[in-house]
Amino acid sequence: MSKTNDRGGARIKQQIIPIVIVAVLFGLSFLTRTGSALRPSYYVVLFVSILNYIVLAVSWNIFSGPSGYISLSTAAFFGLGIYVSALLGEKLPVPLLMIVAGVISFAIAAIIGVITLRLRGVYFTIFTFGLVLLLQYFILWYEVKFNNLRGRTVMAVPYNTVFICLLILAGIVLIAAYYVKRSRFGMALTGIGECEDAAAHIGVNTTMVKVIAFAATSFAIGASGAAKATTMIYIDPPIAFNVMMSFMPVLMVIFGGAGSFLGPIIGAIVFTLLQEQLTTKWPKWYMIIFGVVMIISIVFLPKGLVGSFGEMVGKRKKLLLIAATAVFMVVGFIFTKLLAAAGTNIGGLVFPLLFGIIGFVIFANVLKRGKEAA
């Protein structure tokens, strides 16, 4: 009896999270009202970045998270999407550009997948990374040799349009991620990650599952590239196939917490904000600080923000951790104000974010140790 009730409850809960996702994204769509087509508000510009990274991180995590096949090909499909927009931007509206880019990425990923997904472990990772460089240098060679040009301009599209398109794409990717994790397909991916031989011998078509997951997530990555490209104005192969786009989603997932639904989302939001704030406020220190944050999080939060949060036993410790992080962020905010009063204007969210991360790291470790002692 209780078992049926549990299942009913689970079924209701299964519907709630997708509804929440849609509601939040719908709410965000009103941000377009804060600016006009020609003068978009800062929030819209910021959210274009955040949504873009959410799509990349969540897509990466759908395939590489459970299957353990660490792909560094994100930049390859993202770059393909950018080039689709550069070539067809004057002829097609953004949604169609995204679909074309998605289909091309899907097809190439499927072919690559059939050839390479028999490679295991680090060999697959290296190959996918090579793919980024291969496409980058091939397109550079082709453009210089046959078109006598190095880069291209991309037809600009109002930020509000790009924002809405990415909002819808992010919605699709998030809902897909949520359902895949709970589906038979998701279980097959997990089985492959935990023991591929065992999975194959109980009837999982491992090749098919891997290729479909790799190609479908590449669709979203390519589509995202096509949308983002319309805000870039000028692109060339090193910009379009920027290898950082391969590493950022991986780092975001690790930072946020691999294996959870919220981890990649939170990782993408925090990292994009941090990147945005550091590049505008402390451009010279950006990479150094970013690297330090990454090292600290890997050493002290190996399970990521969400994973470490989940390790807290009991509601009291969870609340304490959130409160501590909030207090640290407020201190960071006050610190920024004090600096501003003293004449050093390092405004924005740099200190609140960094202080918040430090607070979380300290308290997550202290509270965990408390558990071990008890």
Partner 1 sequence: MSIMEGTGVSISFGGLKAVSDVKFNVEEGEILGLIGPNGAGKSTFFNLLSGALTMDSGTVYFCGKKISGLKPNQICHLGLGRTFQAAKNFPGMVVYQNVMMGALFGKKGRSAAEAAKITDEVLDFVGLTELKDKNVTDIPLSAQKQLEVARALATRPKLLLLDEVMAGLNPTEVEDAMKLITRIRDSGITVIMIEHVMRAIMTICDRIIVLHHGAKIAEGTPDEISTSRTVIEIYLGES
Chain positions contacting partner 1, by CB under 8 A: 184, 187-188, 190-191, 194-195, 197-207
CB of 199 to partner 1, least distance (A): 7
Residue 119, φ and ψ in degrees, nearest 5: -75, 140
Q: What is the 3-state secondary structure (H, E, C) of 286-305?
A: HHHHHHHHHHHHHHHCCCHH
Query: Which tokens belong to 349?
Result: 């969210």
CB of 319 to partner 1, least distance (A): 28
Q: CA 32 to CA 40: how far, in whole Å? A: 7
Residue 205, φ and ψ in degrees, nearest 5: -80, 85
Query: Which tokens belong to 190?
Result: 């997990």
* Cβ atoms of 213 and 67 closer than 8 Å: yes
Tell me which residue of 287, 215, 219 sits closest to 251, measured CA to CA: 287
Q: CA 135 to CA 59: how far, in whole Å? A: 21
Q: CA 190 to CA 158: how far, in whole Å? A: 41
- Residue 63 or residue 106: which is nearer to partner 1 going by CB? 63
The per-type count for the chain, helices as H runs and strands as E runs, is 16, 2
* Cβ atoms of 17 and 177 closer than 8 Å: no
State the DSSP code for 44.
H
Q: Judge residue 107's burial from the number of C-beta atoms within 10 Å of its C-beta, 0-12 exposed, 13-18 middle, 19 or more buried.
A: middle
- Residue 90 or residue 194: which is nearer to partner 1 going by CB? 194
Query: Which tokens belong to 251?
Result: 């780092």
| Residue 173: how many other CB atoms lie within 10 Å | 26
- Residue 224 makes CB contacts below 8 A (sequence gap 6+) with 52, 55, 56, 59, 78, 81, 98, 166, 169
